[in-house]
A and B are shown apart, each in its own frame.
Chain A
Amino acid sequence: MGLDIRLPIGLMFGVLGAMLVAYGLVADPAIYQRSLGLNVNLGWGLALLAFGGAMFHFGRRAGKAPTT
């Protein structure tokens, strides 16, 4: 099938997660008035980063395994 879909999913969520984390670290906390005072960018960014990392890991592991 060529491309394992877990690789692009992992990459994309990794990039999006990293962007949200970085933005969450530098952005003015005043923007979190909407989100009940929580820095959701940082929190959710970390969650996406973890998800992306897991997807990428499983995609790579499957790619390396000998094909049957």
Chain B
Amino acid sequence: MTLSAIDWAIMLVYLVFVLGIGVVVKRHTRSSEDFFLAGRALPAWVCGLAFISANLGAQEVIGMAASGAKYGIATSHFYWVGAIPAMVFVGVFMMPFYYGSRARSVPEYLRLRFDEKTRALNAVSFAVMTVFSSGVSMYAMAKLLQTLKLLDSPLAALGLPAAWAFHLSILASACIVLAYTFLGGLTSAIYNEVLQFFLIVAGFLPLVLLGLADVGGWSGLKARLPDGFAHSWQGMGSASTNPMGVEWFGMVMGLGFVLSFGYWCTDFLVVQRAMAAHSISAARRTPLIAALPKMVFPFLVILPGLLAVALPAPSAPPTLQAGDSASARVQSGIVPPKLDESGRPVVDKNGKVQLDYDLAIPQMLLHYLPPGLLGLGLTALLASFMSGMAGNVTAFNTVWTYDIYQSYIRPQASDEHYLWMGRMATVFGIGLSVLAAYVATRFNNIMDMLQLVFAFVNAPVFATFLLGMFWKRATGHGAFTGLVAGTLAAALHHGLTLPSGAEAGVKGGWLGMLESYPSEMAQNFWTAILAWSVCFAVTIVVSLITAPRAESELVGLVYSLTQRPAEDDLPWFERPAPLGGIVLALTLMLNVVFW
């Protein structure tokens, strides 16, 4: 694909603004609190938009469209079940403790509430995870640019081989993110996330509108979709009657409760955005404000995937010479088949052609957008990659500096020293991410395995926070043992089960074979449910046999011992509870409409 001058010019304008914001914000970054917590001075709407943007990385934009093309509207469960309720919960119930305790990070809250070892466990696993996720984000972006051959013509103009596209994308994205987070820290990252939020809307909305006009509106789209793609809940009664291969209970408990609350309520990457707000009520409003656009995001990121499969395939669908039967064919639309290294379509063991769903969004951009808007769409895509990375980097440098460096390596240093350390952490955090991106290219399995380990570590976490915030009897020993037990339970469950059709190994079953799940998603959800339950039970049992902390030490950290924040002076639309109610009612409506 070759871009026109106007497309490059649009990208350039975006870059100038991204770096310009970093330079301007740097002048106001004087203390470590400015750098790591944006001086706790931002208005709620800014934090709210950054709250969803930080999560709107590559995996989200590319992945949700891919999932839309693969599973249909049911993908909206990741929003309407798997995000909104948790966002309301963290705003209404949990934010008073995060913000009110003056903890500077989520691991620091764990130290205040429980003890040093629980914090250390959370801080170290989180720091490792963020570095690898930003590496994966960088890798995905470089891979995509390579597949689209976006950089081939500029590289050719410079006399460089096309194979350099990969290195150039990694280097460029690393340098840009490094520049603006190094200069302005969290403020700069948050500002750029807000910019990116609007850019994503500006870049993708014309795509969705053109696509819908082309297929004849919503009813035209429904008529062209494969069976079951136009409903989110119909067919969820049993795993065999919906494209995702998971039944409603596993979906609601695994995705809607354990995984969603574990991410939105405890992941410092998002919670940090709310902690940057100027007041406790602004911090509580942050996730609620974020929930409003989050609710309609499926129309922006899932719909292009649906449109991509609904469109007529450009040429005859890829078929195979031998063993080609009706069941082997998948409705592909404009989604191209996955190609192996020799350029032949990849086929699964039933002879079905595997589609490269990750290309659904890029294909749609190319299909509908003329030069000009195409540049805007691609810039939006690049912006999403970079803000996903920057989100990880800012969360990493904070946890590294406050929870690891200041706590275990060099306590009692001056504030300037920690500010300097934060900037250094930004440099080596990004350096490690680049390393991780290259590890991913060489050893694909290592990345899969690491992500699996992270999933085991993350699955039980919400049980610890729930008990910590709402049960004053929970103890540090209880929390720590519960976390370890939950992680082990997750690993054990994964080792003993396998999704149907998969081979034992990284997909599960490496210890034996106890149970087979209809899909990988069902296996993941049940792994999470089990890990959460084990952590919950073990934390309670161990807490009851260990000594409780004095109640006076837990004021401001536990629900029953903390005064409710006063909100009588706020108009109703700035109070968390009514806002949360409205958000939930609207979400319920969307679920009913797309039933």
Contact = CB atoms under 8 A, between A and B. Distances in A.
The size bracket of the interface on B is 35 or more
Given A3-B191, A9-B194, A9-B195, A16 B10 contact: yes
A35 B14 CA distance: 24
A51 B191 CA distance: 17
Given A8-B191, A20-B373, A40-B370, A2 B27 contact: yes
A38 B209 CA distance: 12
B414 to A, nearest CB: 23
Contacts of B195: 5, 8-9, 12
Contacts of B149: none
Contact of A36 (B9, B14, B24, B214): B214
Contacts of A19: 6, 9-10, 13, 372
B120 interface: no
Given A8-B21, A15-B13, A35 B202 contact: no
A5 B46 contact: yes
- Chain A interface size, under 10 / 10 to 19 / 20 to 34 / 35 or more: 20 to 34
B417 interface: no
A34 to B, nearest CB: 5
Interface string A43-64: 0110010010000000000000
Contacts of A32: 370
Interface string B170-206: 0000000000000000010001001100100010001
Given A2-B25, A9-B195, A40 B202 contact: no
Nearest to A43: B206
A11 B17 contact: yes
A3 B24 contact: yes
Chain B interface secondary structure, helix, strand, loop or mixed?
helix
B188 to A, nearest CB: 10
B20 A8 contact: yes
B9 to A, nearest CB: 6
A24 B373 CA distance: 10
Interface string A9-25: 10111011001100110
B214 A34 contact: no
B371 A12 contact: no
Given A23-B372, A35-B210, A12 B41 contact: no
Given A3-B24, A11-B17, A19-B13, A34 B370 contact: yes
B367 interface: yes
Contacts of B187: 1
Contacts of A36: 210, 213-214, 368
Contacts of A51: 198, 202
Given A19-B6, A35-B210, A48 B202 contact: yes
Contact residues of A: prevailing secondary structure = helix
A40 B203 CA distance: 12
Contacts of B10: 16, 19
Contact of A1 (B28, B210, B372): B28
B467 interface: no
Contacts of A35: 206, 210, 368-370, 373
Contacts of B206: 35, 40, 44
Which one of B9, B202, B371 has the highest number of Cβ atoms from chain A below 10 Å of its Cβ?
B202
Interface string B370-400: 1111001000000000000000000000000
Contacts of B499: none
- Of A11, A13, A23, A36, most buried by chain B (CB within 10 Å of CB) is A23
Contacts of A65: none
Nearest to A12: B17
A13 B198 contact: yes
A11 to B, nearest CB: 7
Interface string B1-18: 000001001100110010
A38 to B, nearest CB: 8
Contacts of B210: 35-36, 38, 40
A41 B375 CA distance: 11
B82 to A, nearest CB: 29
B42 interface: yes
A6 B551 CA distance: 45
Contacts of B370: 27, 31-32, 34-35, 40-41
A2 B190 CA distance: 14
Contact of B376 (A5, A16, A27, A38): A16
B482 interface: no
Contact of B13 (A3, A12, A45): A12
A35 B211 CA distance: 9
A3 B43 CA distance: 12
A48 B39 CA distance: 31
A7 B108 CA distance: 35
A1 B13 contact: no
B576 to A, nearest CB: 23
A45 B39 CA distance: 36
Contacts of A13: 198, 202
Contact of A20 (B24, B42, B376): B376
A3 B28 contact: yes
B378 to A, nearest CB: 13
B373 A41 contact: yes
Contacts of A34: 367-370
A44 B10 CA distance: 14
Contacts of A31: 370-372
Given A40-B373, A44-B376, 7 more contacts: A1-B39, A3-B21, A8-B191, A13-B202, A19-B10, A20-B376, A38-B210
22 contacts: A1-B28, A1-B41, A2-B24, A2-B27, A2-B28, A3-B28, A5-B195, A8-B17, A8-B24, A8-B191, A8-B195, A9-B194, A12-B14, A16-B13, A16-B14, A19-B10, A19-B13, A40-B206, A40-B372, A41-B373, A44-B206, A51-B198
4 shortest interchain CB distances as A-B pairs: A2-B28, A41-B372, A31-B370, A1-B41
Interface of B: 6, 9-10, 13-14, 17, 20-21, 24-25, 27-28, 38-39, 41-42, 46, 187, 191, 194-195, 198, 202, 206, 210, 213-214, 367-373, 376
